[in-house]
Amino acid sequence: MMIPAIDLIDGKVVRLYQGDYQQKTNYQDSAKQRQDLYANAGATVMHFVDLDGAKNSNERQLDLLSTLVKHPTMTIQVGGGVRNKKDVEQLLELGADRVVIGSLAIKHPELVRQWLIEFGGEKIVLALDVKIDQDGNKTLPTHGWIEDSGVNLESLLDDYIAAGLIHVLCTDISKDGTLSGSNVQMYSELCANYPQIQWQASGGIGCLDDIKALIPTGVSGVILGRSLLEGKFTLEEAIACWPNG
């Protein structure tokens, strides 16, 4: 499944290079124009990141998001600065199908596990950004990849699975925004070791061959951001090369 992704700052479609607000690219299309384009191309799931909300939850772009989340043919997942239960409830009440939770899932797992139990696994997506060290350990930095949490990916997952975890958006941060290909080996390992999770591969997709390389891994979805915005290929082409669309 192809999952187009759009990052939003001040109502505009943007891309950050490896999470850096100082390395920002603005795109001309509005978020709604892009969403309609992707829906017409056949996308059934879409991923939005509210980067204003990520910086300050009081500045969440609720008016814009309200026009995007209630889509007749798409499942919409929204992230960006989810820090408490009120934020989760706010986005779900707005109409989001899934709420994406990042750093908080690493810093306060007991809290996020409770939300999984309360809202259900279909309503929560964990966004886990992975840094792989020289020994192959998958660590989870936080706060825009600046702070080392000291938490290992595998050690975090077991308790979440027990709480009903279904969806994980996983990014190898060394690949994000680079268009240099995904970490195929990492996704193969994760899908083999945690088949009960529907993995969303994120980061590094630059051409159709990068998508095809992920087919044998077992990931359920592929996040497409910069590659679509910069016209490296069309969404129709991406969907066509994936089994069952």
Q: Which residues are catalytic?
A: 7, 129
Strand 45-50 and strand 2-9: the pairing is: parallel
CA distance linking residue 206 with residue 191, whole number of Å: 22
